[in-house]
Chains A and B, each alone.
Chain A
Amino acid sequence: MSAKEVTIENRKTGEITDAVYEHPLIIRYCHWLNAVALFVLAGSGLQIFRAFPSFGAKIPQKVLINWPPSLAIGGWLGGALQWHLTFAWIYIGTGLLYLAYQVLSGNYKQVLFVSRDLPGVWPMVRHYFLFGPRPAPREAYNALQKHAYTSVFVLGVLSVGTGFVLWKPVQFSWLAWMMGGFHWARLWHFLILWAMVAFVFGHLVMVVVHGWNNFVSMLTGWKKDPEYIRR
C-alpha cells in the first residue's frame, strides 16, 4: 500500500510520533456527503412510510407501525418525496465515486474484507464482546472493521436496488421479481434502513472508543500515532 507517512518531531519535548495519511480527500468527501444523505434519506423515508404504514396490500387497511412526525423530514408526503429523491442522487453519486476511487486507486485493499481476514474475525469478536485479549493491530482496519465496512457497502447497494423497485416497479420488474415482488421490496427497503441504523450506531460507538486522533483522520486524512506503527 502506498500510504503516505510522516514522522512528527515535537520541537519542545523532542518527542517523535508517526502519522499516516489514511483517508484520501475523495474518500473523506464521500464519507461526509454520504452521512448527510443517509440522514436525510432515513428521515424522509420515515415520513413516506407514514403515508401507508404497512407492507401488504391496502387490505386490511391496518396501521402496523407509525412514526412520530418529529422524527421525520419533509412535513408531508410530497415534501418527503422531494427530499428523498433529491438526496438519493447524492447517495448514489457518492457511492459510485467511492467505488470507482477505491477500485482504481487500489485503496480498497485497506477496507475490503477478503478470505485472508477470516482468521482474524474470532479474536476480534472475543475482544469486543467477550472481554478477550486485544489482538495486536497490524493495519488500519482489523478483520471485523473490514467486515463491517464491506457489509455496509453491500447494504448500500441493496438499499438503492430496493429503492429503484419501489420507484419503478414496471421498468425494474425483473429486480422486483428477484426481491419477491413489490411488497417484499418495500419490506427489504425498510429492514435495510434498520440494518444501516445499527451500523451507524456501532460505528459511532467505535469512533468514541477509538478517540480523537482516529476521528480527526476522517476530517484531515492524517492519523497521528496509529496503533499499528507505534514505536
Chain B
Amino acid sequence: MERRIDSRGFRLMNRRELLKFTPLLAFGALAVPKLQKPFLKAGLGLSDWVSAKLYRSHHLATTFSDSELTPLDKFPVNDYDVDDPDLDLDSWTLAVGGAVERPGEYRLGDIQALPLYRQNTRHVCVEGWDVIGRFGGARLSDFLKTVGAQPGARFVTVECADDYYESLDMATALHPQTLLCYEMYDRPLTREHGAPLRLQIPTKIGYKQAKYLTKLKLTHVLERVGYWEDQGYSKFYGL
C-alpha cells in the first residue's frame, strides 16, 4: 500500500530527516583547541582503560631463538637527553622507598643475588620499529618481595640518572617477564643501554623501559606518570 504525498510534504519530510543530524554539529567543537584537548584525552583514556582490561598477567610475550637476535651493535639507542649520564658505577645504589617494609639503598650485588632470568624478546618502539634483543636480570617481582612491597601499593615508579622518570601498574610490575635488567647479550649493560640497571618489559612499549635507574618507589597514587606520558603519550601502553 503506497502512501501519497504532495511535493511540499515530501520536502518537509526530507527536512525533518536532515535535522536529525544536528547532533553531528557537535564535532565542529573540535575546531576549538580548548575543547579538542579534553576530547582527545578522553579518547586516549578509553584506549588505556581497554589496554589495562586486555592485559593478561600471565600471558608471556613471544621469545625468540638466538639466531633471530638483532646484533647488539645494531640495537638502536633512543634517548631523550644524553647517551650516558656519566653515572659512577662503583658507588651506584638504587634508592628504594615508598610503600615498602625495607626501604634503603640497594647495591647491584643485592639485585644480582636474586635468580637471574635471560630472555630473547621483542623491544617495540612507539615510533614503529622493533628489535629482538637478549636481556638478563632479576624479576622485578622477586625484588619487590625482597624490599617487602606492601599489599595495596598500586604503582612502581622509577627515576633515572638523566632525570627521565617512569611508572608501571602493579600487574605489569609483577609480570614474570618484567626484569630489573643488568645485562644484555650475556654481558653487563653498556652505558648507552642504561648501565648499570634498566627496566626490561616485553609486554610494554619501549619508552616504559627506563635506563640508568637510581630510584624506585612504590605508591598508591601517581603524582606524575612518565616523561613521555606527561607530554601526551599513552599512560598504560601494554603491548
| Residue contact A222 to B17, C-beta cutoff 8 Å | yes
From 158 to 215 in chain B, residues with beta carbon under 8 angstroms from any chain A beta carbon are 202-203
| Residue contact B43 to A85, C-beta cutoff 8 Å | yes
A51 on interface, CB distance cutoff 8 Å: yes
Residue pairs across A and B with CB atoms within 8 Å: the count is 138
| Residue contact B238 to A168, C-beta cutoff 8 Å | yes
A7 on interface, CB distance cutoff 8 Å: yes
Closest residue of B by beta carbon distance from A49: B128
CA distance A61 to B77 in the complex (A): 12
CA distance A57 to B27 in the complex (A): 38
B80 on interface, CB distance cutoff 8 Å: no
How many B residues touch A, CB cutoff 8 Å? 54
| Residue contact B238 to A79, C-beta cutoff 8 Å | no
CA distance A168 to B237 in the complex (A): 9
B47 on interface, CB distance cutoff 8 Å: yes
The secondary-structure label for the interface of chain A is helix
A6-B3 in contact given A58-B131, A78-B232, A168-B54 (Cβ < 8 Å): yes
From 1 to 45 in chain A, residues with beta carbon under 8 angstroms from any chain B beta carbon are 4-11, 19, 25, 28-29, 32-33, 36
A112 on interface, CB distance cutoff 8 Å: no
Closest residue of B by beta carbon distance from A52: B128
Stretch of B55-63, B83-91, B94-102 on the interface side: B55-63
**A169 CB contact (under 8 Å) in B44, B51, B74, B122:** B122
A146 on interface, CB distance cutoff 8 Å: no
A9-B7 in contact given A51-B128, A186-B128, A222-B17 (Cβ < 8 Å): yes
| Residue contact B203 to A170, C-beta cutoff 8 Å | yes
Instruction: List, in ascending order, chain A residues with CB within 8 A of B27's CB.
Output: 36
| Residue contact A221 to B6, C-beta cutoff 8 Å | no
> Min CB distance, B196 to chain A, in Å?
25
> Min CB distance, B210 to chain A, in Å?
18
Stretch of B18-26, B105-113, B136-144 on the interface side: B18-26
A89-B46 in contact given A81-B233, A168-B51, A173-B62 (Cβ < 8 Å): yes
| Residue contact B7 to A8, C-beta cutoff 8 Å | yes
Closest residue of B by beta carbon distance from A28: B21
| Residue contact B126 to A86, C-beta cutoff 8 Å | no
Question: Can you list 13 A-B contacts with CB-CB less than 8 angstroms, sorted by A residue number?
Answer: A7-B2, A7-B3, A9-B6, A11-B7, A11-B8, A19-B10, A51-B126, A85-B43, A168-B51, A182-B130, A220-B13, A220-B15, A224-B10
Give A contacts to B, CB under 8 Å: 4-11, 19, 25, 28-29, 32-33, 36, 48-49, 51-52, 54, 57-59, 61, 77-79, 81-83, 85-89, 168-171, 173, 182, 186, 216, 219-222, 224
Give B contacts to A, CB under 8 Å: 2-10, 13-15, 17-18, 20-21, 24, 27, 39-44, 46-47, 51, 54-56, 59, 61-62, 70, 74, 76, 122, 124-131, 202-203, 228, 231-234, 238-239
